[in-house]
Structure 1
Amino acid sequence: MNQTEIVNIFTKKTLALTFVLSAAAMAFAQEKAGVTGMIVNKNNQPVPYASVTFSNKVNKTLSDAVLTDEKGQYSLELAPGNYDITVEAIDYKNSTITKNIAGAGNIGALSIEPEATSTVGAKTQEIQGVVITAAATKAYKVELDKKTYDPSQDIVSKGGNLQDVLTNVPSVSVDTDGTVSMRGNTNVRFLINGKPSSLLGVDDGANALQSIPADQIERIEVITNPSSKFEASGTAGILNIILKKDKKLGFNGSVTGSIGYLPRTNLNANLNWRKGNWTWFVNGGGGYQRNESTSRNLTIRKDDISALDPTKAFPFTQYSNQDGKTKREGDNYNLNAGFTHDFSDKTSINFSGMIRSFDNDSKTLNTYNEIVYANPTTYNNILRERNSFGNSKNFATQFDLGLDQKIGDNGQLLAASASYQTNKTDGVNQIVQTSFKDGVLQSTGNSINNVTTNSQTDTFIGKLDYELPIGEQSKFEAGARYDYNKNTYDYFVDQSNNGGTAFTRYDFTSNTVYSENILGIYAQFKSKIGEKFAYQVGLRSETSKIDINFQNYDENGNPKYTPEVNKNYTKLFPSVFLSYDLAKNNQLLLNYSRRINRPRAFSLIPFMSFDDDRNYFRGNPDLNPTYEDSFEFGYNLSKKKFTFNPTIYLKRSEDEQNRYQYVDEAGAVNTIPFNVGTETNYGLDLNGTYDPFSWWKMMLSADLYGYKNTGSYNLFPDNPKTLNDFSGTGFSYRLRFNNTFKPTKNLSVQLQSFYRAGEKTAMNNRKAMYGFDLGASQTIWKGNATIGFNIRDIFNTRKMRNYTNNAQFTREMEMQWQPRQFALSFTYRFKQGEKVDTKPKVKKDINSNTNGDDDQQGPM
C-alpha cells in the first residue's frame, strides 16, 4: 500500500462529507476577536475560578462565558459589540458592568466586592443561577457509585474509535478481537447515555466498538458495582458511554478528520446550537478502514475415541495444524441528532435519534495440515485449503423521547422516557475448500458452500423515575422499567462438490426466534448521618420471561421436533452503599449489590456455525442464569498533585457459566456452555494519578485478581463415562501506565503502556501480553485547531496466545486481530467557550449522581 493509494481512499470515501460539514460550520461562523482580562478583589488580589458571563445586548446567540484560572485571568473569543459582563465568585457579591468590545485586546482588571457576611474560614456558599464547568484537570475521577474517564485528554485515541478509548480506561481491558472485560470478567453491560443501545448490537463485536468515533464521546462511566437503580444485568458491571451534547450558548462545535495506516480514514463533526429555550445537537460522520488478522492453531489428540463411543476406536485425528489469515475492509457511518425544549422552569422535553451502518468485506485463507490414523500404525496425510469470501451489512436505529416534570418547589422530579431500537444484519459468505489425501485430490475435494445469515433485533424500553428530596441531605427514589426484545436468526448453508448440483446442508440450516420480557421496579433511599457518614440502600425486583423457538432439520429437510425453551422467574436484587469522610477529599467506601447474568440467545440454542469446520460452538437449552453477590471496599484520596484509589473486591457466583471443550470423531473442537458449581473472584483494583511537575502527568492502573471454581459437568448425559468433577484456581494481574508530557504550552506527548500477565482459566492457559502506544498533539491557530499523531502497538506485540491441556487433547493458539497502526488527525473548533447552564444549581450531597442522571435521563 503506497502513499498515493491511501490518499485516494481518503478522498473517495470522505471528501464529500468534508465539504458538507465544513459548509455547515462556515454557515454559522462569526468573526471574533481574542479578549483577555482579569478578576481581582478590593485588595487587587486575583480571584481564581470566578465565572465571567458576557451577554450581548443585541444578539443573545453571541453571548459566551468563561472561568478564570488560578491567577484570576481569562481569555475567550467574542464578536464585537456591547456586552453586559456579570462576574460571580464564591464569597463575593455578584457584579455587572456594561462594556463595548471593539476588537481584540485586554479589557483590564474588574474588581468585585466580598459578601458582607463573608469572613475568612466561613462556610462556602453555593453560586445560584449560573454553573460554569471547566475542563477536567484529571482524566480519571472517583464518585460514590461510579468512576468516570474523560477521553479528551487521551491523545493516543485522537481520530480513533470507542475500542481505542476503552483500551485506556482503568479497570477495563480489551482483547485483540474486541472482547471487553472488567476485572477479568467479560459479562459487561454496555449503555449509551444510560440506555441499552442498538449502536452496540448484541452480536456485532468489534465492528460496533469501531463504529463510534472517539471524538463523539463526552466521558465513560465505569460502574463496577451498580446500585438497585440500574438494571441487574451484567455481573462484571456497566460501561455507560456518554455522547456529547453541548450546552454552550449560540452555535459551536468541532470537526475532526483523520487518516492512517493500515488504511483508516475518518471524518466526524460535533455541532451544537442553543437559542432561547431550544438546544439542538448533531454528531455524525463516517470512515473507511482496512484490517488484517492472523491466527495459528495446533491441536494434538491424546486419547482414544472410545471414551465417547465404546464401539469406535478408530479413525480419529491425531494431529491438526491450522494457519489462517484474514483481510477485512469496510465503511461505517453514524448520525446522532436531537433537541431539548424547556416549556417552563419545571417542564422540559427531549428527543434524539441515532443511526449507524457498516458494510464490511472479508477474505480469509485457512490452511490445514492433518495426520489421521486409520489404525495404530497406518495414517493418512490430509492437506486442506479453506477460503472464505464474506460480506456483512448492518443498519441500526434508535429513537428516544423523554419528559422531565418538576413537581412543587421542593425538588420533586418525575421523569418518563421511551426508546425504540432496531438492529438488522445481513451476511453472505462463500467458502471454497480443496482437500488432498496423501497428495491426491479427494473425490469431494473441491467443495463450495454458500452461507447466508439474516438477523434482526427489535427493542422497546419504557421507564418512569421519581425523586423526592427529604430535607437537605436525604432523597427517596423509585421507578419502573419494561424491556421487550425480539431477536430473529436465520441461518442457511448449501454445498456443491466438484462442480455438481448444490444441495442444502440441513445439519447446519436453522431458524431461531428469541424474545424476552423484563419488568423491573426499584426503590432506594440515600441520606447522611452527621457531616461525614453517608449511606444508600435499595431494592430491585425483576421478572423475566424468556421464550426461544429453535427450528432445524433432518438430513431430508424435514423439521425436527425441538421443544420450545421457556424460562420464567422473579428475583430480588438489593444494594447497599456506605461512605465515610475521614477528611476533605479523603474517603472510605463500602458497597454491596446482587447481579444476574442471563444467557444470551446463542448460548441457549443448539446452533452451530459453518464458518470453521474445526471449531464449533453449540448452545445449551438447559443453561440457567448466573447470580452474583458483589462486595467492594475502597479508599479515595484526592489531592492537587495526586489521587489514590485502591479497591478490594470479592464476588461469589452461583451456577457459574463456563465453556467446556471436547474433540469429536472428525477431530473438530466442540465448545458447549454449562452451569458449573460456584465461582469466587477476588482482587485489588488500584488506580492513581501523580503530577510531579506542571508539564508531566502520570496515571497508573493495576488489577490483581484471582478465582476459585468448583463443580461438576457432563458433556453427554447419556454416557456416565463423561461425568467430570471440576476444581480450578487461578491468579493474574494487569498493569497500565500512562505518561503525558507538555513540553510547551501547545504541545502534548503521551506514552501509554500495558502488561497483562498470564492466566490459567477453566480450560485455557493464557500467555502474557504487553504493548506500547505513542501519541502527540499540537494546538494551532490560537487554540482553534489541533494536529494529532499516534502509533498504536509500537512493537507489534498485541498477540493473544492460549494453551489448552486436558485428558483428551492439547492445543496451542495464537491470534493477532490487527497489526501496528498509525494515524494523523486534524481537529477544528469554532465558537469556543465554557458550558453555561442558566438553570439554578441544585445543591449536591455526597450521595448525588446528578451529573450522570442529567445526561442519562436516569439509569434505570
Structure 2
Amino acid sequence: MERTEIVSVFQKKIFGLALTIGAASFIMAQQKVNISGNVKDANGGVGYASITFKNQQNSQLSDAALADVDGNYKIDLAPGNYDVSIEAVDYKKFTQTIRVEKAGAISPFVIVSDGKANLNNTTDIQGVVITATSTKPYKVELDKKTYDPSQDIVSKGGNLQDVLSNVPSVSVDTDGTVSMRGNSNIRFLINGKPSSLLGIDDGADALKSIPADQIEKIEVITNPSSKYEASGTAGILNIILKKSSKMGFNGSVEGTLGYLPNTRLNTSLSWKKGSWTYYLNGGGSYNRNKSTNNSTYNYLLDPVRLSNNASIFTDQRGKNKSENKNYNVNSGFVVDLSEKSSLNASVMFRTFENEGTETIDTYDRIVRKDIDADDYPDVPYTILDKNSLRVNESIRNNNSFQADLGFDQKIGDKGQLLSLATSYQTNKSDSSGPIDQTSIVSDGTSESVVNNILNNSKNTTFLAKADYELPIGENSKLEAGARFDLNNNDYSYFVNQSTNDSPFEILERFTSDTRYDEKISAVYSQFRSKIGNFGYQLGLRMENTNIDVSFKSMENAELVEVPKNYTGFFPSAFFSYNLDKSNQILLNYSRRINRPRSWFLIPFMSFGNDRSLFLGNPDLNPTYENSFELGYSLSKSKIVFNPTLYLKKSQDEVNFYQYDALDTNGNTVLYRMPVNAGSETNYGLDLNATYDPFKWLRIMGNVDLFGYDNSGSYKDFSYEGNGFSSRLRLTTTFRPDKKTSLQIQGFYRGSEKTASVDRHSMYSINFGATRTILDGNGTLAFNIQDIFNTRARENTTYAPSYSQYQYMQWNPRQFSISFTYRFKQGEKIEQPKKKKDINANSSGGDDMPPM
C-alpha cells in the first residue's frame, strides 16, 4: 500500500471514530437532564470538591463533576437513583443516595472538617480520588525519579528527543545519542515495556517519532531494583504515554510550524463511561534536517607501508540534508470486569520515511620523498593531491506494529495482586540508495565509482510476564515474578559497484545475510518493609540468556554459527531513612548487565563512508557493572533538593578498537570494531534542585560533577583515560501574569578525555514562551533551540597510526510555534492506591509496571 493511501485510511479512521463518539455522546445527551448543586461547610462553599454520581441500575450512566472555587457544580444525568460520593481535601469521605427526576437544583451537600456531616448514611468513599496537577516538575522516590514534561516550555511542539534534553541526569548529544551521567547504555521502555514505537536500529530518528504532547511523564531509574530487567548499565528511562482518566469524552489537538521546516499535527481522544475507558493518540509530522560533519586525519605510520617514504594528510567536509515523514497511532481500552479484576489492551502503529543526501568532499595530500633523504638532504618533498566528491542518496522506511494485552486480578481483601501481561511487536526497516564518488588526482587521472546499497532488517519480539504482590502486615510486602523475552532479528545487506561506467559487480565482502535469535528467561523476588523511620528493600533476579547468531557472506559462502549462553544473578538493595516528613536519606546498590547489541556481533562491514568502516565482533561478551548510590532528598513548599553520590564499576568494558589500512586504490581507510578491553570506573555527584522563591519565578538546576577511569588493552593499542568533568543545566521560568510563561534554559558540558578521545566543551541556550487563550482551552507556544548556534561536538581521536579531529553539528538553530486546543475537559479521577508505598516519601509511590 502506498504511503498516501495509508495516510488517507489513517485520516478516515480518526474522523470516523471521532464522528461515532460524537454521535453517541449526542444521543445520550438527549436522555439526560441538567443538575446543579453546591458543596459547602459551615463557612461557605468548599472549592474543588469531587462529586461522583454512581447510577444504581446502569453503571454506564455514572458520571462525575468537579466543583468550582465556590463549591458550585453542574452535570447532565439520566433520571434514576444515584449513590453520590464526595471527597474534598481536609474533609472526611462520605456518600449519600439521591433520586434524579427532572432538571434543576438539588439540595446542597454540607460537610464539616471533622468528618461529620448532616448527610444520611455517611460512609467512606471507596471509588474516587481527585488528583491535582503536581506543582513540582521533579519528584524523588525510593527507586526512581519522576519528571513531568508538561512544564517544559522549550520542548512545546517538539518530540521525545527534545523532552529528554531537559530531563535532569539525562543529556542528549548533537547526533541524538542519549546518555545518563555520561553512559549511553540506557534501556528505553514505553509504559513499562520495550516498544516497537522506538523502532529497530533507528537511533535519534526513533526518538523524534514520539510527540512531546503525548508524554505524560518520564521515570528516570538510575539504579533499578531486581524487579526490573537487568539490561542497561546506565539505567532505565521509562516513557509513560498519556491515557486520559477523565469522565466523558475528552480530547486535544496540537499543531506545530517551525523552521527547517518542522510541521506536526497530533490529536489525543478519550472516552470514559462507567467501567470502560477508550483512548486514541495519533498524528503525523514532516521535518527537514541539516547536519555538518567535518574531519581532519593525519596518518602517522604510512611511511612504513608505502613504497616511498611518505605521510598522508586527509581533510573531509561532509554535509547531510534529509526529509523525514512520520505517522503514528496508539489506541486501546481499559475495562473493569469486576471490583477486583480489570483488562487492558492496546495497539500501536508507526511509519517513518527518510530521504537524505549526504555530500562528502575529501582532499588527500600525500607528501613523499622520491629519493633517500640521507643521501640528498636538500631535496624538497613532492606533493600529490587527490580530491574526491562523494554523494550518497538514500531512502529509508520503517514500519512498526505492537499489540499489548494485560490482566490484573486482586486476590482476597488484604491487597494481594496478580498481574499478567503479554506483548507482540514487529518492526521492519528498509534502506536503499546509490553512492556516486568521483576522484581527481593532480596528475590528471580521474576515477568514477558508483555503488548501490540495499539494507533490510526485520525484528520480531514476544514478551510474557507475571507479577505477584503479597502484603504482609501493615509495613511489609513480598513481590515475585517471571518473564520471558524472545527477539528475532534478520539482517540482509547487499552492495554492488561500477567503476568508470563498467558493468556492476557485487562486492562480496559487504554482501551478507544474518539471523540473530535471543531468548531471555528471568525470575525475581524482593521483599520490602519498614521499621519506624527506616525502610528497606532486598531483591534478587536471575536471568538466563541464550543467543544464536548465524551469518553467511558471498565472500565466504559457508554458514557460520556463534552460540552464546550465560546465566547471571543480579541482586539489589535499597535503604531509606526519614529524618522527618521533608528529609530523607537513600542508599542503594544493584548489579547490571550490558548485552552486546545485535549488530555489534555481526562481523561484516557496513558500506557508508568508504574511508571509515564499522565491523562487528562475534567474540564480544557482555559487560557487568556494580552500581552504588547515596542520596539525600529535601522536599518543601519552595524547594526540592536532591544530591546523589554515585559509583559505578564495570568489567569487560566495551571499547572501540580502531586501526587503518590501505585499500586496493591506495587510500587509507579507518576500521572501527567493538572489543572487550579492560574496565571502567565512574564516580560523581549528581545534584538536582528546584527553587520557587516567588509565585512568578521558578529555578531548576542539574549539576553532574564526575570522574572517570578507563584502562585496558587490545592487540597493539592501550586504552587509558581518566579525568574529571562536568555537565550543568539551568532552567529559569518566569510568569509575568497568570496566562503567560517565559523560560530560558542553558546547558554546558565540560571537556573530557577518555581512553582514546579528547572531547571539547560545549554549551547551548534555549528559549520558550507560552500563552493561555480561549478561556484556558487553548495554548500558544513559541521556542528557539540553540539561540547562539553553538551546539556542536568537537573531539580529537588518537590511535597508534593516526590522529583525527572531528566537528559535528546535527542541526543548526531552530524555532517553532505551536497551538494546542483542549475540548470537553472532564474531571480527572483515579482509583485509590492499593496501599501506600511503605518506602516512598510523600512525593509519590511506585507505579511503574514491574519486570
- With structure 1 as the length reference, what TM-score do the two structures score? 0.89
1:134 counterpart residue number: 132
CA contact (8 A) 2:721 2:756 kept: no
Structure 1 counterpart SS, 2:776 = coil
In 2, Cα distance between equivalents of 1:573 and 1:212: 32
CA contact (8 A) 1:649 1:683 kept: yes
The 5 Å alignment of 1:82-161 reads 86-89=85-88, 90-92=90-92, 94=94, 111-115=110-114, 128-161=126-159
Structure 1 counterpart SS, 2:668 = coil
1:482 counterpart residue number: 484
The 5 Å alignment of 1:6-405 reads 40-42=40-42, 44=43, 50-53=49-52, 63-66=63-66, 73=70, 78=75, 86-89=85-88, 90-92=90-92, 94=94, 111-115=110-114, 128-304=126-302, 306=304, 314=308, 318-373=312-367, 375=369, 377-405=381-409
2:503 counterpart residue number: 501
1:673 counterpart residue number: 674
CA contact (8 A) 1:223 1:237 kept: yes
Structure 1 counterpart SS, 2:508 = coil
Pairwise CA distance, 1:209:
0.4
Structure 2 counterpart SS, 1:440 = coil
1:758 counterpart residue number: 751
Task: Pick closer, same or farther for the CA change 1:348–1:586 going to 2, 3 Å.
Answer: same
Could you tell me which of 814, 838, 842 is aligned with 1:846? Answer: 838
Task: Pick closer, same or farther for the CA change 1:739–1:840 going to 2, 3 Å.
Answer: closer
CA contact (8 A) 1:198 1:422 kept: yes
Pairwise CA distance, 1:65:
3.4
Pairwise CA distance, 1:649:
0.3
CA contact (8 A) 1:85 1:99 kept: no
Task: Pick closer, same or farther for the CA change 1:576–1:282 going to 2, 3 Å.
Answer: same
Q: Which string of whole-angstrom CA distances, capped at 9 and with x for unpartnered residues, describes residues 142-197 of structure 1? A: 11110111111112212111111110011101111111000000000000011111
Task: Pick closer, same or farther for the CA change 1:740–1:381 going to 2, 3 Å.
Answer: same
Could you tell me which of 722, 730, 733 is aligned with 2:726? Answer: 733
Could you tell me which of 743, 746, 757 is aligned with 2:739? Answer: 746
Task: Pick closer, same or farther for the CA change 1:743–1:271 going to 2, 3 Å.
Answer: same
Structure 1 counterpart SS, 2:599 = helix
Pairwise CA distance, 1:313:
5.8
Match status 1:859 vs 2:850: yes
CA contact (8 A) 2:92 2:124 kept: no
CA contact (8 A) 1:134 1:834 kept: no
In 1, Cα distance between equivalents of 2:538 and 2:807: 46
Pairwise CA distance, 1:56:
8.7
| Higher mean displacement: 499-508 or 422-431 | 499-508
In 1, Cα distance between equivalents of 2:472 and 2:404: 30
Task: Pick closer, same or farther for the CA change 1:808–1:516 going to 2, 3 Å.
Answer: same
Alignment gaps of 5+ in structure 2:
1-6, 118-122, 371-380
Pairwise CA distance, 1:834:
3.2
Pairwise CA distance, 1:363:
0.7
Pairwise CA distance, 1:315:
7.5
CA contact (8 A) 2:147 2:167 kept: yes
Structure 2 counterpart SS, 1:742 = strand
Pairwise CA distance, 1:276:
2.1
Task: Pick closer, same or farther for the CA change 1:402–1:297 going to 2, 3 Å.
Answer: same
2:376 counterpart residue number: none
Could you tell me which of 597, 600, 609 is aligned with 1:612? Answer: 609
The 5 Å alignment of 1:611-690 reads 611-665=608-662, 666-690=667-691
Structure 1 counterpart SS, 2:590 = strand
Pairwise CA distance, 1:317:
5.8
2:801 counterpart residue number: 808
Pairwise CA distance, 1:769:
1.2
Structure 1 counterpart SS, 2:198 = coil
Q: Aligned residues: percent identity?
A: 53
CA contact (8 A) 2:731 2:746 kept: yes
In 1, Cα distance between equivalents of 2:102 and 2:760: 65
CA contact (8 A) 1:844 1:850 kept: no
| Higher mean displacement: 589-598 or 257-266 | 257-266
Pairwise CA distance, 1:705:
1.0
CA contact (8 A) 2:536 2:839 kept: yes
CA contact (8 A) 2:720 2:756 kept: no
CA contact (8 A) 1:541 1:573 kept: yes
Q: Which string of whole-angstrom CA distances, capped at 9 and with x for unpartnered residues, describes residues 195-226 of structure 1? A: 11111124101110011111111111000000
Q: Which string of whole-angstrom CA distances, capped at 9 and with x for unpartnered residues, describes residues 339-375 of structure 1? A: 1122111222111111111111001111000112455
Q: Which string of whole-angstrom CA distances, capped at 9 and with x for unpartnered residues, describes residues 614-660 of structure 1? A: 11111122211100000000001100111000000000001111113
Q: Which string of whole-angstrom CA distances, capped at 9 and with x for unpartnered residues, describes residues 247-289 of structure 1? A: 1111112111111111111111111111222211111111111
In 1, Cα distance between equivalents of 2:730 and 2:689: 10
In 2, Cα distance between equivalents of 1:99 and 1:696: 48
CA contact (8 A) 2:658 2:799 kept: no
In 2, Cα distance between equivalents of 1:102 and 1:832: 25
| Higher mean displacement: 479-488 or 790-799 | 790-799
In 2, Cα distance between equivalents of 1:391 and 1:77: 55
2:767 counterpart residue number: 774
Match status 1:567 vs 2:558: no
In 2, Cα distance between equivalents of 1:637 and 1:687: 11
Could you tell me which of 436, 441, 455 is aligned with 1:432? Answer: 436
In 2, Cα distance between equivalents of 1:469 and 1:194: 22
Alignment gaps of 5+ in structure 1:
1-10, 119-124, 715-721
Task: Pick closer, same or farther for the CA change 1:75–1:743 going to 2, 3 Å.
Answer: farther
CA contact (8 A) 2:657 2:674 kept: yes
CA contact (8 A) 1:242 1:855 kept: no
One-letter amino acid of the structure 1 residue matched with residue 113 of structure 2: P
Pairwise CA distance, 1:53:
3.8
CA contact (8 A) 1:76 1:832 kept: no
In 2, Cα distance between equivalents of 1:849 and 1:506: 60
CA contact (8 A) 1:682 1:705 kept: yes
Structure 2 counterpart SS, 1:668 = strand
- With structure 2 as the length reference, what TM-score do the two structures score? 0.90
CA contact (8 A) 1:433 1:446 kept: yes
CA contact (8 A) 1:798 1:816 kept: yes
In 2, Cα distance between equivalents of 1:38 and 1:329: 56
| Higher mean displacement: 126-135 or 756-765 | 126-135
Structure 1 counterpart SS, 2:503 = coil
Pairwise CA distance, 1:412:
1.1
CA contact (8 A) 1:803 1:811 kept: yes
Task: Pick closer, same or farther for the CA change 1:793–1:417 going to 2, 3 Å.
Answer: same
One-letter amino acid of the structure 2 residue matched with residue 577 of structure 1: F
Structure 2 counterpart SS, 1:156 = coil
Structure 1 counterpart SS, 2:154 = helix
In 1, Cα distance between equivalents of 2:784 and 2:168: 20
CA contact (8 A) 1:133 1:834 kept: no
One-letter amino acid of the structure 1 residue matched with residue 65 of structure 2: A
Task: Pick closer, same or farther for the CA change 1:109–1:573 going to 2, 3 Å.
Answer: same
CA contact (8 A) 1:739 1:750 kept: yes
Between the two proteins, the alignment pairs up a number of residues equal to 818
Q: Which string of whole-angstrom CA distances, capped at 9 and with x for unpartnered residues, describes residues 814-850 of structure 1? A: 111111111111111122133213x554221333699
In 1, Cα distance between equivalents of 2:634 and 2:845: 24
CA contact (8 A) 2:659 2:799 kept: no
One-letter amino acid of the structure 2 residue matched with residue 204 of structure 1: D
| Higher mean displacement: 775-784 or 482-491 | 775-784
In 1, Cα distance between equivalents of 2:61 and 2:298: 71
In 2, Cα distance between equivalents of 1:435 and 1:103: 84
One-letter amino acid of the structure 2 residue matched with residue 133 of structure 1: T
Structure 1 counterpart SS, 2:502 = coil
In 2, Cα distance between equivalents of 1:828 and 1:641: 31
Pairwise CA distance, 1:610:
1.1
2:537 counterpart residue number: 536
